[in-house]
Structure 1
Amino acid sequence: MTQTISTNQVISQAAGYIVSDMDGEKVMLSIQSGKYYNLGQVGGDIWDLIKEPVSIEHIVQSLQSIYDVSQIECEEQVRSFLEKLKEEGLILIS
Protein backbone atom coordinates (compact mmCIF):
# COMPACT_ATOMS: atom_id res chain seq x y z
CA MET A 1 0.00 0.00 0.00
CA THR A 2 1.36 3.41 -0.91
CA GLN A 3 1.75 6.04 1.74
CA THR A 4 -0.85 8.77 1.53
CA ILE A 5 0.13 12.38 1.08
CA SER A 6 0.14 14.30 4.36
CA THR A 7 -0.91 17.91 4.86
CA ASN A 8 2.59 19.08 5.76
CA GLN A 9 4.15 17.77 2.55
CA VAL A 10 4.89 20.20 -0.25
CA ILE A 11 3.44 19.50 -3.68
CA SER A 12 4.51 20.88 -7.05
CA GLN A 13 4.02 20.14 -10.74
CA ALA A 14 6.37 17.70 -12.42
CA ALA A 15 7.97 18.97 -15.63
CA GLY A 16 7.29 17.71 -19.12
CA TYR A 17 3.62 18.48 -19.71
CA ILE A 18 1.79 20.70 -22.16
CA VAL A 19 -1.30 22.20 -20.49
CA SER A 20 -4.19 23.92 -22.24
CA ASP A 21 -7.56 25.41 -21.30
CA MET A 22 -10.56 23.92 -23.09
CA ASP A 23 -13.92 25.47 -22.18
CA GLY A 24 -12.83 26.20 -18.60
CA GLU A 25 -11.26 22.78 -18.03
CA LYS A 26 -7.55 22.03 -18.03
CA VAL A 27 -6.26 19.28 -20.28
CA MET A 28 -2.67 18.21 -20.49
CA LEU A 29 -0.40 16.04 -22.59
CA SER A 30 2.58 14.14 -21.27
CA ILE A 31 5.45 14.79 -23.65
CA GLN A 32 7.16 11.59 -22.48
CA SER A 33 4.28 9.10 -22.62
CA GLY A 34 1.91 10.80 -25.07
CA LYS A 35 -0.95 10.36 -22.56
CA TYR A 36 -3.72 12.95 -22.35
CA TYR A 37 -5.26 13.98 -19.02
CA ASN A 38 -8.43 15.98 -18.41
CA LEU A 39 -8.07 17.67 -15.03
CA GLY A 40 -11.51 19.29 -15.10
CA GLN A 41 -12.22 22.72 -13.63
CA VAL A 42 -11.34 22.10 -9.96
CA GLY A 43 -8.41 19.89 -10.95
CA GLY A 44 -7.23 22.72 -13.18
CA ASP A 45 -7.46 25.11 -10.23
CA ILE A 46 -5.33 22.71 -8.16
CA TRP A 47 -2.84 22.39 -11.03
CA ASP A 48 -2.52 26.19 -11.16
CA LEU A 49 -1.97 26.31 -7.38
CA ILE A 50 0.93 23.84 -7.56
CA LYS A 51 2.93 25.75 -10.17
CA GLU A 52 5.16 26.66 -7.23
CA PRO A 53 5.76 24.22 -4.35
CA VAL A 54 2.84 24.52 -1.90
CA SER A 55 1.31 22.64 1.04
CA ILE A 56 -2.00 20.77 0.87
CA GLU A 57 -3.21 23.12 3.61
CA HIS A 58 -2.62 26.10 1.30
CA ILE A 59 -4.40 24.33 -1.59
CA VAL A 60 -7.43 23.60 0.63
CA GLN A 61 -7.60 27.18 1.93
CA SER A 62 -7.37 28.56 -1.61
CA LEU A 63 -10.12 26.27 -2.89
CA GLN A 64 -12.36 27.09 0.07
CA SER A 65 -12.10 30.77 -0.86
CA ILE A 66 -13.46 29.87 -4.33
CA TYR A 67 -15.88 27.00 -3.68
CA ASP A 68 -18.52 26.40 -1.01
CA VAL A 69 -17.04 23.26 0.54
CA SER A 70 -16.20 22.16 4.07
CA GLN A 71 -12.54 21.92 5.06
CA ILE A 72 -12.78 18.17 5.73
CA GLU A 73 -14.47 17.38 2.41
CA CYS A 74 -12.13 19.68 0.50
CA GLU A 75 -9.06 18.12 2.10
CA GLU A 76 -10.29 14.59 1.29
CA GLN A 77 -11.00 15.53 -2.33
CA VAL A 78 -7.65 17.32 -2.73
CA ARG A 79 -5.75 14.33 -1.30
CA SER A 80 -7.64 11.91 -3.55
CA PHE A 81 -6.92 14.04 -6.63
CA LEU A 82 -3.24 14.45 -5.70
CA GLU A 83 -2.92 10.68 -5.12
CA LYS A 84 -4.12 10.13 -8.70
CA LEU A 85 -1.64 12.69 -10.00
CA LYS A 86 1.10 11.01 -7.93
CA GLU A 87 0.28 7.58 -9.42
CA GLU A 88 0.67 9.08 -12.90
CA GLY A 89 3.94 10.81 -11.98
CA LEU A 90 2.46 14.27 -12.58
CA ILE A 91 3.53 15.85 -9.28
CA LEU A 92 6.59 16.11 -7.08
CA ILE A 93 6.26 15.63 -3.32
CA SER A 94 8.77 16.87 -0.76
Structure 2
Amino acid sequence: MVISTIYYTQNMDFRVRNIANKHLLLSGGNAFELNELGLTIWDLLEDKISSEKIVQEVNSQYDINEEIIKKDVHTYINFLKEINAIEECN
Protein backbone atom coordinates (compact mmCIF):
# COMPACT_ATOMS: atom_id res chain seq x y z
CA MET A 1 0.00 0.00 0.00
CA VAL A 2 1.38 3.37 -1.03
CA ILE A 3 0.66 6.39 1.14
CA SER A 4 0.81 9.52 -0.95
CA THR A 5 1.64 12.97 0.28
CA ILE A 6 -1.10 15.57 -0.09
CA TYR A 7 -0.05 18.90 -1.52
CA TYR A 8 -1.94 22.15 -1.12
CA THR A 9 -1.97 25.51 -2.86
CA GLN A 10 -3.88 28.76 -2.48
CA ASN A 11 -7.32 29.13 -4.03
CA MET A 12 -6.82 32.10 -6.33
CA ASP A 13 -10.23 33.51 -5.30
CA PHE A 14 -8.61 34.47 -1.96
CA ARG A 15 -6.23 37.39 -1.49
CA VAL A 16 -4.39 38.85 1.49
CA ARG A 17 -4.57 42.58 1.99
CA ASN A 18 -3.04 44.76 4.68
CA ILE A 19 -5.82 47.01 5.97
CA ALA A 20 -5.37 49.21 9.04
CA ASN A 21 -2.18 47.29 9.95
CA LYS A 22 -4.03 43.96 9.90
CA HIS A 23 -3.46 41.14 7.43
CA LEU A 24 -6.86 40.07 6.10
CA LEU A 25 -7.62 37.04 3.95
CA LEU A 26 -10.45 38.18 1.68
CA SER A 27 -12.87 36.41 -0.65
CA GLY A 28 -16.49 36.93 -1.66
CA GLY A 29 -17.24 39.49 1.03
CA ASN A 30 -15.66 37.38 3.78
CA ALA A 31 -12.63 38.52 5.74
CA PHE A 32 -10.40 36.49 8.05
CA GLU A 33 -7.65 38.13 10.09
CA LEU A 34 -4.26 36.41 9.89
CA ASN A 35 -1.68 36.52 12.63
CA GLU A 36 2.05 36.41 11.82
CA LEU A 37 2.17 32.60 11.69
CA GLY A 38 -1.01 32.42 9.60
CA LEU A 39 0.49 34.89 7.12
CA THR A 40 3.72 32.87 6.95
CA ILE A 41 1.76 29.69 6.20
CA TRP A 42 -0.40 31.50 3.61
CA ASP A 43 2.74 32.77 1.87
CA LEU A 44 4.18 29.24 1.79
CA LEU A 45 0.97 28.04 0.12
CA GLU A 46 1.63 30.28 -2.87
CA ASP A 47 3.37 27.27 -4.42
CA LYS A 48 2.36 23.62 -4.19
CA ILE A 49 3.50 22.40 -0.76
CA SER A 50 2.81 19.57 1.69
CA SER A 51 1.86 20.12 5.31
CA GLU A 52 5.08 18.32 6.28
CA LYS A 53 7.12 20.86 4.31
CA ILE A 54 5.16 23.72 5.90
CA VAL A 55 6.08 22.33 9.34
CA GLN A 56 9.75 22.20 8.31
CA GLU A 57 9.70 25.77 7.00
CA VAL A 58 7.90 27.16 10.06
CA ASN A 59 10.26 25.24 12.34
CA SER A 60 13.25 26.87 10.61
CA GLN A 61 11.76 30.38 11.01
CA TYR A 62 10.32 30.28 14.53
CA ASP A 63 11.62 29.15 17.89
CA ILE A 64 8.61 26.95 18.68
CA ASN A 65 8.40 23.31 19.76
CA GLU A 66 7.97 21.11 16.64
CA GLU A 67 5.00 19.22 18.12
CA ILE A 68 3.20 22.52 18.70
CA ILE A 69 4.01 23.56 15.11
CA LYS A 70 2.61 20.27 13.76
CA LYS A 71 -0.62 20.74 15.72
CA ASP A 72 -0.99 24.39 14.70
CA VAL A 73 -0.26 23.71 11.02
CA HIS A 74 -2.75 20.81 10.99
CA THR A 75 -5.43 22.99 12.60
CA TYR A 76 -4.76 25.91 10.25
CA ILE A 77 -4.73 23.71 7.11
CA ASN A 78 -8.09 22.25 8.18
CA PHE A 79 -9.50 25.75 8.69
CA LEU A 80 -8.27 26.87 5.25
CA LYS A 81 -9.82 23.76 3.68
CA GLU A 82 -13.15 24.44 5.45
CA ILE A 83 -13.37 27.95 3.99
CA ASN A 84 -12.10 26.71 0.58
CA ALA A 85 -9.06 28.99 0.74
CA ILE A 86 -6.74 26.16 -0.32
CA GLU A 87 -6.99 23.34 -2.80
CA GLU A 88 -5.43 19.90 -2.89
CA CYS A 89 -3.20 19.39 -5.90
CA ASN A 90 -0.86 16.74 -7.30
Is 1:41 paired with 2:33? Answer: no
Shift of 1:60: 0.6
Q: Deviations over 1:12-58 (max 9, x none)?
A: 101112312353x521210xx21011121100000000100101111
Read off the aligned partner of 1:92 and give its amino acid letter: E
Is residue 2:82 matched to residue 1:82? no
Contact 1:20 1:28 in 2 (8 A): yes
Could you tell me which runs of 5 or more consecutive residues in structure 1 were left unpaired when the two chains were aligned: 1-6
Identity over aligned pairs, percent: 28
Matching of residue 15 in structure 1 with residue 12 in structure 2:
yes
Contact 1:27/1:40, CA 8 A, preserved across alignment? no
When the two structures are superposed, what TM-score results if normalisation uses the length of structure 2?
A: 0.84
* 2:54 match: 59
Aligned length: 85
